[in-house]
Every structure is written in C-alpha cells, then in structure tokens.
Amino acid sequence: MITLNGLCKRYGDRTVVDDLSLEVRPGTVTGFLGPNGAGKSTTMRLILGLDRPTAGTALINGVPYHRIRNPLRTVGALLDARALHPGRSGHAHLVALARGNGIARRRVAEVLETVGLTDAARKRAGALSLGMSQRLGIAAALLGDPEVLMFDEPVNGLDPDGVRWVRHLMRSLADEGRTVFVSSHLMSEMQLTADHLVVIGRGRLIMDAPLTEVIARSSLTAVVVRTPHAGDLSVRLSAAGMRVERPGENEIVATGAAIEHIGDLAYEAGIRLHELRTREASLEQAYQELTASSVEYGARKAGV
C-alpha cells in the first residue's frame, strides 16, 4: 500500500507535484496517467525518497521509504532502466543489489530467467539495447520479491512480445496480492492492464477511480438507439433528464442514463426499437477529455 498525503514538490516557483493525496491499494494494477511533465516520475521519485518533498508525505505501508529495512525486499521499482554503471554487467549489478539487501544470491539467476535475460546477463550493461535494459530494470524490481512494485513506463523500448509479457506480469503480480503502480502514456495498454486509474495533470489529481468508472463517466460513453419513432422517443428521453443527440433520421445517441432505463421507457411508450446498444468510450478518449485542459507541452497545430 502506497499512501500520499498532501504531497508537494516545487522547484523554485514551478510546482511539479501539487497537493497530491491518494492511496494505491494492494491486489490491483493501478495505472498512473498524465501528460508529459504532469509530475508522474517526480511523484515516483518522491515515494522512493530520491527527491525530498516540499510538503506532505509519501508512505509505504505507513512508513517513509528510508525507514524500511532492506527496502528492496518491500518495494521494487523501475524508474530509469539506464540508471546503473554502464561498465558493470547486469549480473554484477543485481548481485550487488541483492547483497546489500540481504537477498539470497539464487534470486539473481531466478529473476534473470524471469525476464529472459540469462544469456545477456554477463554483457556490460552499457551495451544492452533499450529493451534489454528495460528487462534488467524489471529484474531489479522483482529481485527482493517485494509486495509493492512501481514501474515508470515499463514497456518503453520493448518489442510486441515484450509488451504482452509485461502486461501479463503486471496482472499476475497484482493477482498475487501485491500493490502494482504503473505509469504509462500508452492508453490502449493501460486499458488492458489496469483495474484502477490515477490521472494527474500539472501535478494535480484529476481522477482517482476504477477503470470502468472512468470510461463510464466519459461523455463519449453513450447509448445508441435506432427506432422509426426517433422524434417521439428523444422527447421522452430528454424529459427524463438525459442528453440526447440525433445523428441520423432514425438514430438517437443518449448520455446520462443506463441502457435498461432507456429500454424501459421505450417499452412503456410502446415504441418499437430496432437497435439498443452501449457505445463505450475508449480509455484514450476518456483520458483526453480529462486532461484536455492540462496538457503542458501540447504540440501546436501545423501551419500556425
């Protein structure tokens, strides 16, 4: 369990993390989303005590990171896969981490096997490709068999097989009851992996809710109705407090009500329906709506 309480980080007059309070719970994959520069990586660095918060606290199982004995056995984190001495082999790097935290040496071979790096483990870390560095970073995170795991953009540089493997890994770690906190800006990936979402923009919390709720709340999630009596039905739906659009002669798109409610209303009014279905927003659409106002480094439109 990770608990943030009024967490703030300012660099001069720039506020990177602004009064962030949330809980990341065990047994779920919590996706951490936000535009570039929203403060995701800084938040993770604050949790690990690499940066000092300007105000507030970041606790793991109720204590700050630096108070945990043998922290790698409680928290495994991949922040920057290249953050190791380039002249050292992956194997030597992991052995050093293991020895410093009282982790059995055989774990090194085990995690290297898990991430599929057994053959490249004796190569200089600087000579590894980005994807292989990423695997080594994941191996380091898994080394201490920790109950809390944090990954910053874990699929960076991985091939499609690797991406699928990471997705599978996150799920199984959460299913084992661990706390899994993953940042990413690949929405399609998050939609497949995450149970719960934390969305931030400009350092502030925008949303902290289950994935299904984020998608259901999007204005693009709607009920599509096809009926020869579209005019009549749309009046009734509006009267029931729904937002109604008429994209076509016989078509209604209604938001703000459950599909069952619409079906019942039509039945009571004796209106024949030819189609009644839910159109779900993708996470990408829901995310874009949420963060539209807080994209810090948005690209300008071409030609402007």
Among 40, 91, 93, 167, binds other proteins (CB under 8 A): 93
For other proteins, the closer CB: 3 or 255:
3
Of residues 50, 130, 258, 269, which one binds other proteins by CB under 8 A? Answer: 50
CA distance 208 to 30: 10
When the beta carbons of 127 and 235 are compared against other proteins, the nearer one is 127
In sequence order, the β-bridge partners of residue 255 are 243
User: How many residues touch other proteins (CB under 8 A)?
Assistant: 25
Q: Measured from the CB atom, is 80 or 280 closer to other proteins?
A: 80
Tell whether residue 121 is a contact of other proteins (CB under 8 A).
Answer: no
In this structure, the strands spanning 243-248 and 251-255 are antiparallel
Which residue stretch of 48-56, 155-163, 237-245, 263-271 sits at the interface with other proteins (rule: CB under 8 A)? 48-56
Q: Binding mask 140-179 vs other proteins (x if CB under 8 A, - otherwise)? A: x---------------------------------------
Nearest CB to other proteins, comparing residues 91 and 167: 91
- Using the rule CB under 8 A, is 80 a contact of other proteins? yes
51 binds other proteins (CB under 8 A): yes
Least distance (Å) between residue 38 CB and other proteins: 18
Q: Are strands 2-11 and 14-24 parallel, antiparallel or unpaired?
A: antiparallel
Distance CA 246, CA 252 (A): 5
Quote the least distance from Cβ 124 to other proteins, whole Å.
12
Smallest gap from Cβ 67 to other proteins, in A, equals 8
CB 303: neighbour CB atoms within 10 A?
4
List C-alpha distances in Å: 16 to 34, 37, 46, 51. 12, 8, 11, 12
Residue with structure tokens 């709720």?
A: 213
Q: To the nearest whole angstrom, how small is the minimum distance from the Cβ of residue 93 to other proteins?
A: 7
Tokens of 271: 């209106």
- Applying CB under 8 A, among 22, 23, 37, 48 the residue interacting with other proteins is 48
Q: Of 72 and 169, which CB lies nearer to other proteins in the complex structure? A: 72
Candidates 86, 5, 74, 75; CA nearest to 43 is 5
CB of 77 to other proteins, least distance (A): 6
- Residues of this chain, 54-73, that bind other proteins according to CB under 8 A: 65-66, 68, 71-72
Q: Per rule CB under 8 A, is residue 49 in the interface with other proteins? A: yes
- The closest of 30, 290, 47, 71 to 184, measured between CA atoms, is 30
Write out the residues near other proteins by the rule CB under 8 A.
Answer: 45, 48-52, 65-66, 68, 71-72, 77, 79-80, 82-86, 93, 96-97, 100-101, 140
